[in-house]
Amino acid sequence: MNIALASDHGGFKLKEEIAGLLGEAGIKYKDFGAFSEEAVDYPDLALIVAEGVRSGDFDRGILCCGTGIGVAIAANKVPGIRAALCHDTFSARAAREHNCANILTLGQRVIGPGLARDIVTTWLEAEFKAGRHARRVEKIAAIEQKYNRCSR
At 44 the pLDDT is 98
How sure is the predictor about 26, in pLDDT bands with cuts at 50, 70 and 90? very high
pLDDT tens digit sequence for 79-128? 999 999 999 999 999 999 999 999 999 999 999 999 999 999 999 999 98
Residues annotated as catalytic are 65, 98
Whether residue 152 is predicted with pLDDT greater than 50 in this model: the reply is: no
Domains, the chain, with CATH or none: 2-150 (3.40.1400.10)
Helix/strand/coil (H, E, C) string of 108-146? CCCCCHHHHHHHHHHHHHCCCCCCHHHHHHHHHHHHHHH
At 150 the pLDDT is 56
At 149 the pLDDT is 64
pLDDT mean over 21-30: 98
pLDDT tens digit sequence for 27-62? 999 999 999 999 999 999 999 999 999 999 999 999
How many Cβ atoms sit within 10 Å of the Cβ of residue 125?
10
